[in-house]
Structure formats: C-alpha cells, structure tokens
Structure 1
Amino acid sequence: MRRLAMVALLLLAGCGGGDADRAGRLRSVGPNPDLAALLRVANVDAGRRAFGQCAACHTIGAGGQSLAGPNLHAMMGRAVASNPRFGYTQALIDHGGRWNAARMDAWLAAPAGVVPGTRMAFAGVRDPMERADLIAYLQSESR
C-alpha cells in the first residue's frame, strides 16, 4: 500500500506541466502586466510544451507539411497568410500585416475575434502568460 501511494505521488508530481518557475515569473511582473512585461519573463520551454495543443493542426519544423493549418516555421516577422503551400481564407488574406508579438498575442487570444471568417476552429488561449510563452517559442523557431 505504501509503495502504491509513493508511485501515485510521483505520477502526480509529473503532471504539473514542468514550469516550476511560472509563479515566480508572474510575481516578478506584478499585477496586470502588459505583453512586453510578460515577454521579458516568457519561457521558451513552456511555450514548446504549450505548442502541443497547436500541433494537432500545425507543424513547426523547417519544411514541415501543412495540416489543417499551415506550417509555422519562421513565421514571426513574416506576412500574414504568406505560406505558399497553404490555402488561406480570403478573410485572413485581406487582414494583411506581419506577424509580430502584439498581433500574435491577439490572434492566440481569440482567432475568430481578430479575423472573422477564419477557418481556425480554436477558441483561443485565455492565459496571457501561456500566450507569451507560445510567442517566445514561435520567435525561437523563427531565427
């Protein structure tokens, strides 16, 4: 019985997402931080883990195929709807602009709110720190 309890505790310890410094990062930026403050403490590894939910529709490796969504390698700084191997909606094409941190933050928070008519069937990432981590990861894959 004691052995079973120890195994259960070890398994639960592994379910915390692996971001032991998250609370400290949030404390360091204070209440109601803006995107710039969150990006200063963003964690690329946490963003890589969070990207797991994106991987259902997107690849990120160089030369990766498009799935339900386009490959996202080297997308930061690139024009919106510019992957030639993906068929974007006219709404996203017409939206225009370039992917930067602020645009990506808004998109990750509510894709359909930013571009009504997008096919991206994802409600969004509510947690601003998680969005900053994802942006840091996308930036790291754009170098």
Structure 2
Amino acid sequence: MLLLAGCGDGDRAARLKAAGPNPSLDALMRVADADAGARTFGQCLACHTIGKGELDRAGPNLHGIMGKPVAGGSDRFGYTGALKTVGGVWNRPTMDRWLTSPQRFAPGTRMTFAGLSDPLARADVIAYLEREGRE
C-alpha cells in the first residue's frame, strides 16, 4: 500500500523526509508514488510494453513482472545467458538492484539502460510495476 502518494514531484522532499535519514528500501516503498514511477517508466517504453497481453519489443513485456522468475517474465522473449544465470524472482530488492545498474546486476546483459541512481525514483518505478501488474 502506498503512503503519501501525491500528484507529482512537488511532494518529493516531503516523501524523502517521511522516509527518514538514510532510508532503507522498505522505508522508501512506504512513501513510493506509483504515478511518479509511471512518469519515470516513460523512458522504458522505448523498449518495453507493460499492458496485459501486449507484445515484447526490444525488451520483454513487463506486465505482472513482480514475482516472476528473473529471465522468465515472458515466454516469447529471448533472455541473455547473463540474465538467465542470475536466478531468483523479481521482488522489491531484486528489482531495486536491477534498476540501479543492469550491467552490475547481470554482467553481459543486452540491456543498455545505465540505471537509476536515485533510490526514491527506483522505489517509485517498483510501485508502478506492482500497480500495473495486478490482474
């Protein structure tokens, strides 16, 4: 559940303050804003779709990705060996590591996205992925 979900980046400072000093991922998720995450996710739309049943692009469709196996979200997409060796499932900590730096998460991945250095922006994107993945 999202706390303090606001309408834009105008509440960023308040959300960061509410998360506390040196906030953990859990603290950031408590103040995450899925709408802000949707805006950040806009840059992902060049390669990914997120709507239920939409086709893969250069990257897999991300509808319902949370809880699915890493390198297993789409049966149609050809994942790299680098990503296949990671194992596990997409959960908040795993997605946070991926969004921080796909290349560090899975060296050799084809994902060219450099990553999001802002922890609150990553939490927002994760909140968006969770919201959009509900059936």
1:31 to 21, 24, 35: 21
Residue type matched to 2:129 in 1?
Answer: L
Q: CA deviation at 1:23?
A: 0.9
1:47 corresponds in structure 2 to 37
Bigger radius of gyration among the two? 1
What is the percent sequence identity of the aligned residues? 61
Q: CA deviation at 1:25?
A: 0.3
- Give unmatched runs, 5+ long, in structure 1: 1-16
Q: State the 4+ residue runs in structure 1 displaced beyond 4 angstroms.
A: none
Give TM-score scaled by structure 2 length: 0.91
Q: CA deviation at 1:19?
A: 2.0
**CA distance, structure 2, for counterparts of residue 118 and residue 28 of structure 1:** 35
**CA distance, structure 2, for counterparts of residue 98 and residue 18 of structure 1:** 30
Range moving further from structure 2, 131-140 or 25-34: 25-34
> Is the contact between residue 20 and residue 27 of structure 2 (CA under 8 Å) also seen in structure 1?
no
Residue type matched to 2:19 in 1?
Answer: V
Q: CA deviation at 1:101?
A: 0.1
Aligned residues: 127
**CA distance, structure 2, for counterparts of residue 32 and residue 51 of structure 1:** 24
| Secondary structure of the corresponding residue to residue 95 of structure 1 | coil
More helix by share: 1
- Please say if 1:110 is aligned against 2:101: yes
RMSD of the TM alignment (CA)? 1.1
Map 1:29-108; keep pairs closer than 5 Å. Answer: 29-82=19-72, 83-108=74-99
Residue type matched to 2:31 in 1?
Answer: V
> Is the contact between residue 49 and residue 62 of structure 2 (CA under 8 Å) also seen in structure 1?
yes
